């Protein structure tokens, strides 16, 4: 049996323990929702003051040049690149993940058409993040060329569904609900063998698990900065295009920042040859500036070190839950196999929503996803082993006493 003492010893020996100081985490709160909104880096407050007071307040318009605002999207892209196996000059931080998905999906479908492909299927998972599927539906309607979405219910079905009528395979590497992690290299090879292009949504991968886009010969990737990268609420997303494909593709949101010479102000669109082609309009500079603060913590460690701790945290969560909650109808949804596990753990419970609300009242913040899923993000930059022990302890108490049955938990908040 694991004891709380054992967990405290694990924390004392944790080589990453000091990184927790980079973040503001309210006293007495166990924050297991960094997979939805990362906590605030300490440095973000000073950076916000600098960008609002000095760069905007004093520098005014000259800050586009003097404070480097015009290069911020690529500058931040260069800092994200090593976390996802991309190179310098290959990533931009811009817009939202949903909008970036639209851009890369349109570019991928266009490239397939130019190559003479008649494939009209976009392959994804039923359990993919709904926004990704909605964007694919919207784009298919707009293009009106007979594209259809083919959705599989289980990761094992992808291989059979990958036929030569698939134009693009669009998968979220770590499933937002189950925490299942796909093998980017294996699925990319499968797609390429069938003539399909791949789009990887790294919303729950970037900063959570090591990713090697180039090693996997992936084609396109997008992802969030406000989850594991701790960029701030609604911070702009990122987009990567393989350097081999970049010269061949066009994205349709041809705003001036994607132009080869935005300040030439000439009529007639000419796409930038760099990854800047995947920008569109002017960036939200205040929000974009804060993204850098989150990335600074990653520069102090490695994704392999983070992965090692992440697996130790999720293993510990499972072990504690197995020891203490096994007599309750709580079903583990996240794979036990390390190869297929991201950095959050999910359990199914009929009254998952109420349990998550009861946990929040006891200072444990997880979240709920339809249907019945309780999610707990275990983020190695700041989550401690003792917190995992305590969280499962409180969860067990709530289940034992059935305190989730309190009537006030039945009413849904606007955001779950």
Ligand X SMILES: *Cc1c(COP(=O)(O)O)cnc(C)c1O
Which residues are designated catalytic?
129, 201, 226-227, 375
| Whole-angstrom distance, CA of residue 148 vs CA of residue 400 | 47
Q: Segment near ligand X (CB under 6 A), from 20-28, 125-133, 330-338, 398-406? A: 125-133
| Whole-angstrom distance, CA of residue 307 vs CA of residue 102 | 30
The verdict on 170 binding ligand X (CB under 6 A) reads no
Q: Which is nearer to ligand X, 239 or 325 (CB)?
A: 239
CB of 4 to ligand X, least distance (A): 32
- The dihedral sign for the CA sequence 255, 260, 262, 267: negative
CB of 201 to ligand X, least distance (A): 4
| Whole-angstrom distance, CA of residue 198 vs CA of residue 219 | 5
Q: Which is nearer to ligand X, 279 or 399 (CB)?
A: 279
User: Is-contact 329 266, C-beta < 8 A?
Assistant: no
Q: Which is nearer to ligand X, 176 or 220 (CB)?
A: 176
Please select the residue that binds ligand X; options are 2, 48, 56, 96, rule is CB under 6 A: 96
CB of 204 to ligand X, least distance (A): 6
The verdict on 253 binding ligand X (CB under 6 A) reads no
Q: Which is nearer to ligand X, 204 or 372 (CB)?
A: 204
Classify strands 220-223 and 197-201 as parallel, antiparallel or unpaired: parallel
CB of 224 to ligand X, least distance (A): 5
Q: Segment near ligand X (CB under 6 A), from 198-206, 211-219, 247-255, 296-304? A: 198-206
The verdict on 237 binding ligand X (CB under 6 A) reads yes
User: Is-contact 336 319, C-beta < 8 A?
Assistant: no
Strands (E), 343-416: 344-348, 364-365, 367-369, 373-377
Q: Which is nearer to ligand X, 251 or 386 (CB)?
A: 251
Please select the residue that binds ligand X; options are 10, 224, 364, 365, rule is CB under 6 A: 224
Please select the residue that binds ligand X; options are 98, 113, 117, 194, rule is CB under 6 A: 98
Please select the residue that binds ligand X; options are 23, 102, 147, 176, rule is CB under 6 A: 176
The verdict on 217 binding ligand X (CB under 6 A) reads no
| Whole-angstrom distance, CA of residue 197 vs CA of residue 219 | 6
Q: Which is nearer to ligand X, 50 or 131 (CB)?
A: 131
The verdict on 199 binding ligand X (CB under 6 A) reads no
> Tokens 């999910």 belong to which residue?
346
Q: Segment near ligand X (CB under 6 A), from 76-84, 92-100, 150-158, 315-323? A: 92-100
| Whole-angstrom distance, CA of residue 147 vs CA of residue 385 | 47
| Whole-angstrom distance, CA of residue 227 vs CA of residue 414 | 19
Phi-psi region of 207 (alpha: psi -120 to 50; beta: other; left: phi over 0): left
User: 365 is written with which tokens?
Assistant: 């913040």
The verdict on 23 binding ligand X (CB under 6 A) reads no
Q: Segment near ligand X (CB under 6 A), from 106-114, 196-204, 259-267, 362-370? A: 196-204
Give the H/E segment covering residue 291. helix 285-298
DSSP secondary structure string, 53-120?
IIIIIITGGGHHHHT-GGGHHHHHHHHHHHHHT--TTSEEEES-HHHHHHHHHHHHHHHHHHTT----
CB of 365 to ligand X, least distance (A): 17
Q: Segment near ligand X (CB under 6 A), from 93-101, 190-198, 317-325, 338-346? A: 93-101
The verdict on 382 binding ligand X (CB under 6 A) reads no
Q: Segment near ligand X (CB under 6 A), from 90-98, 110-118, 162-170, 290-298? A: 90-98
Classify strands 121-125 and 91-94 as parallel, antiparallel or unpaired: unpaired
108-to-97, 120, 196, 197, 255 alpha-carbon distances in Å: 16, 12, 9, 7, 19
The verdict on 320 binding ligand X (CB under 6 A) reads no
The verdict on 220 binding ligand X (CB under 6 A) reads no
Please select the residue that binds ligand X; options are 110, 113, 131, 254, rule is CB under 6 A: 131
| Whole-angstrom distance, CA of residue 188 vs CA of residue 283 | 32
User: What letter would DSSP give residue 271?
Assistant: B
Please select the residue that binds ligand X; options are 33, 201, 219, 292, rule is CB under 6 A: 201
Q: What are the residues binding ligand X (CB under 6 A)?
A: 96-98, 129, 131-132, 172, 176, 201, 203-204, 224, 237
């Amino acid at each position: 049996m694991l004891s709380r003492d054992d967990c405290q010893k694990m924390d004392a020996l944790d080589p990453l323990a000091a990184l927790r100081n980079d973040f503001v985490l309210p006293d007495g709160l166990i924050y297991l929702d960094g997979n939805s909104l990362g906590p605030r880096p300490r440095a973000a407050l000073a950076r916000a003051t600098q960008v609002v007071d000095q760069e905007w307040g004093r520098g005014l318009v000259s800050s586009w040049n003097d404070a480097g605002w015009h290069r911020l999207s690529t500058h931040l892209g260069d800092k994200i690149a090593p976390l996802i196996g991309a190179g310098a000059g290959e990533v931009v931080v811009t817009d939202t993940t949903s909008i970036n998905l639209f851009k890369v999906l349109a570019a991928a479908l266009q490239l397939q058409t130019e190559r003479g492909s008649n494939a009209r299927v976009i392959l994804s998972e039923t359990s993919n993040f709904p926004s990704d599927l909605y964007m694919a539906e919207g784009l298919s309607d707009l293009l009106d060329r007979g594209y259809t979405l083919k959705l599989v219910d289980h990761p094992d079905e992808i291989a059979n569904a990958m036929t030569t009528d698939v134009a693009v395979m669009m998968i979220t590497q770590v499933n937002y609900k189950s925490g299942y992690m796909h093998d980017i290299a294996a699925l990319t090879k499968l797609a390429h063998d069938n003539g399909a292009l791949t789009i990887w949504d790294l919303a729950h991968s970037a900063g959570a698990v090591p990713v090697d886009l180039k090693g996997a010969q992936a084609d396109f990737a997008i992802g969030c900065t406000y989850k594991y990268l701790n960029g701030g609420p609604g911070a702009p997303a990122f987009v990567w295009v393989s350097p081999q494909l970049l010269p061949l593709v066009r994205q349709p949101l041809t705003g001036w920042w994607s132009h080869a010479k935005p300040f030439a102000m000439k009529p007639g669109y000419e796409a930038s040859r760099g990854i800047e082609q995947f920008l569109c309009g002017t960036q939200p500079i205040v929000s974009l500036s804060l993204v850098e603060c989150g990335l600074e913590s990653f520069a102090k460690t490695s994704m392999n070190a983070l992965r090692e701790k992440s697996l130790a945290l999720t293993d510990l969560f499972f072990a504690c839950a197995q020891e203490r909650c096994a007599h309750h109808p709580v079903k583990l949804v996240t794979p036990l196999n390390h190869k297929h596990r991201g950095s959050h753990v999910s359990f199914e419970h009929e009254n998952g929503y109420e349990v998550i609300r009861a946990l929040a009242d006891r200072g444990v913040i997880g979240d709920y996803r339809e249907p019945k899923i309780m999610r707990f993000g275990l983020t190695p930059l700041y989550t401690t082993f003792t917190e995992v022990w305590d969280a499962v302890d409180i969860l067990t108490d709530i289940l034992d006493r059935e305190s989730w049955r309190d009537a006030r938990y039945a009413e849904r908040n606007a955001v779950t």
